Amino acid sequence: MGFCLSLISRSISSFCGCTILLLFLLSCSCFTSTEAYDALDPNGNITIKWDIMSWTPDGYVAVVTMYNFQQYRHIQSPGWSLQWTWAKKEVIWSMLGGQTTEQGDCSRFKGNVPHCCKKDPTVVDLLPGTPYNQQIANCCKGGVVSSWVQDPANAASSFQVSVGSAGTTNKTVRVPKNFTLKAPGPGYTCGPAKIVKPTRFVTQDGRRVTQALMTWNVTCTYSQFLSQKTPTCCVSLSSFYNDTIVPCPTCTCGCQNNITQPGSCVEEDSPYLASVVSGSGKNSYTPLVQCTKHMCPIRVHWHVKLSYKEYWRVKVTITNFNYRMNYTQWNLVVQHPNFDNLTQIFSFNYKSLTPYAAINDTAMLWGVKFYNDLLVQAGPLGNVQSELLFRKDKSTFTFEKGWAFPRRIYFNGDNCVMPPPDSYPWLPNATSRTSTSLLTLIMVLLSALLLLNAHV
C-alpha cells in the first residue's frame, strides 16, 4: 500500500510539474510571436542599397535599389512605399523611376522648386506605362516586387534621386535615419543604414568595372504579427477514407459581428453585394470578407483524394473570400515529409525549399503565368486548384494519425492556422482519438485504492 501511495504521489508531482512547464512554454510563446524570424526562410530579408553615383554642386545623385531576398514572400499590389528621415536639411531636386507622395513646404526656394522638401519623404514606385524619359532599370511596376524563388528577374525595384542641400564628399554626406518600408501595409522592421564597400558594376560586355562613390545598406525583416494582428488564412482538411470534412477553426481570423461592427463581412447572397464591392475599391489593404465561420480572407483546402498501390494523390484548393483583393503572383508553401517523393504536380509551378539542409520536406507552389497566377476576388471564380501525386515510401508512408496532412502551410508568406490535430480525419479502423491522460490514470488508481480499502 505504501509503495502504491508513493507511486501516485510521484505521478501527481510529475503531472503538476509538466503542467507548470507547459504553461511556462505557452507564456514564453506569447513574447516570441513578434520576432521577425521565419524558420522556413531564416535568411530572408529585403535589402535596400543606396548607391551615390555622382556629386552635384550641392549634393549628389543616387540610385536606390530594393532587393527582395525572401524566397516566397513578395510585395503585391498596391505596392511598396519607403520612408526615411533626413539627417540634415536635405531636399530632393528630382527623381526618376519613383516619386514622393507629398512635396512639402518649399517656400524658401526661389526659381527652381525641388521635387520634395519634406524632412521625412515617402517614396512610391511609378506605374507601368510611365514615359521612358522618367524611367530607370527595375522601376515602374506599381511597387510590385516578386519573391526570389518565384521570379528572380523581377525581385528588385529601383529609383534615382537627386539630393540637394547635402554633403558633397564621403566625409560630409550624412546617412538618412528611421527607414520605414510598407509593403503595402505594416510588417517590416528596418535596421539603421550601414555604410558598406561601394557597389561594383560590370558593363554588359564584361570588359569594364565601375563602382559607386559611396554605398550604404538598410536591411528590413518581416513579422506577420506586425503585419496583421489576426491570422490571414486557414486550412481545412478532408480525405477519401473518412466522410468527415474538417473545417477551418471557428473565428480563426475574427468572428461575425454585424451587430456591433456592421459591414465586417458580406453575405454571399446579399442583394447589396454588388454595390458594396464596387464601392469598396479593389486591392484595398483592409479586407472585406464573405461571411463565414472562420472569417478568413483565404482558405486552403487539402484533400487526400486517392490511394494507389505505389502512389497517393492530393488535391489542393485555394479559395479567396476577400472582395477587395485580387492576389497577384500568389504562392503557397507547404511542409510535408512526403515532398521528397513528389512525382508530379498539375497546373502549379513547384520549387523545393530546403530550410533544414538535407531534409527535403518543404515545397513552394505558385500559379502558371497567364493561366492561374491571379487569384481573383471572392466569387464563383475566386479559387485556384491543383493535384499532387506522391510516391509511397514504405518506410514512412501511412494514413494513420493524420500523417497524410501537411505540417504547416503559408499563403503569400503568412502562416495559415491549421485545425487541431485531434480533429483530423482518421482511418475507420483507427483507435479512439482520445488518449487517456495521466490525470485520468491517477483518478482510476485512486478509485481502485479506495475500493480496496473499503473491502479490507
**232 and 64 Cβ atoms separated by less than 8 Å:** no
Mean pLDDT is lowest, of 131-145, 363-377, 396-410, 438-452, for 438-452
How much is the pLDDT for 224? 80
pLDDT, one tens digit per residue, over 169-179 is 999 999 999 99
pLDDT band at 13 (very low <50, low <70, confident <90, very high): very low
Percent of the chain predicted with pLDDT > 90: 64
Q: How far is CA 262 from CA 38, 42, 256, 266, 295, in A?
A: 36, 40, 9, 10, 14
Q: Model confidence over 14-70: pLDDT tens digits?
A: 444 443 333 333 333 333 334 457 888 888 999 999 999 999 999 999 999 999 999
Per residue in 261-305, pLDDT (tens digit) is 566 788 887 776 776 666 555 555 678 899 999 999 999 999 999
**Beta-strand pair 177-182/81-85:** antiparallel
Residue 434 has pLDDT above 50, yes or no: no
Question: In this model, does residue 260 exceed pLDDT 80?
Answer: no
pLDDT at 39: 81
Stated pTM of the model: 0.81
Residue type, 84: W
pLDDT(214) > 50: yes
Question: Of 364, 447, 406, 399, whose CA–CA distance to 4 is shortest?
Answer: 447
Tell the burial category of 31 from Cβ atoms under 10 Å away from its Cβ (0-12, 13-18, 19+): exposed
Mean of all residue pLDDT scores within the chain: 85
Q: For 13-17, 329-333, 400-404, which range has the lowest pLDDT when averaged over its residues?
A: 13-17
Most confident range (mean pLDDT) of 21-25, 121-125, 322-326 is: 121-125
pLDDT at 427: 85
Candidate from 22-31, 207-216, 224-233, 385-394 with smallest mean pLDDT:
22-31
Average pLDDT over residues 208-223: 96
The pLDDT > 70 percentage for the chain reads: 82
| Per-residue pLDDT reduced to its tens digit, 185-205 | 788 999 999 999 999 999 989
115 or 453: which leads in pLDDT? 115
Asked if 45 and 69 touch (Cβ cutoff 8 Å), the reply is yes
Q: Residues 394-416: what's their mean pLDDT?
A: 93
Q: Is the pLDDT of residue 223 over 70?
A: yes
pLDDT of residue 264: 74
Assigned C-alpha cell, 205: 560586355
The larger pLDDT score, comparing residue 427 to residue 119, is at: 119
pLDDT of residue 324: 86
Comparison of pLDDT for 226 and 433, the residue scoring more: 226
Q: Is the peptide bond before 297 cis (omega within 30 degrees of 0)?
A: no
Task: Considering only residues 227 and 273, tell me which one the structure prediction assigns the higher pLDDT.
Answer: 227
Instruction: Write the burial class of residue 340 (CB in 10 Å: 0-12 exposed, 13-18 middle, 19+ buried).
Output: middle
Residue 405 CA to residue 384 CA, distance in Å, equals 19
Per-residue pLDDT at 372:
93
| Rounded mean pLDDT, 95-114 | 95
What pLDDT, on a 0 to 100 scale, did the predictor assign at position 362? 93
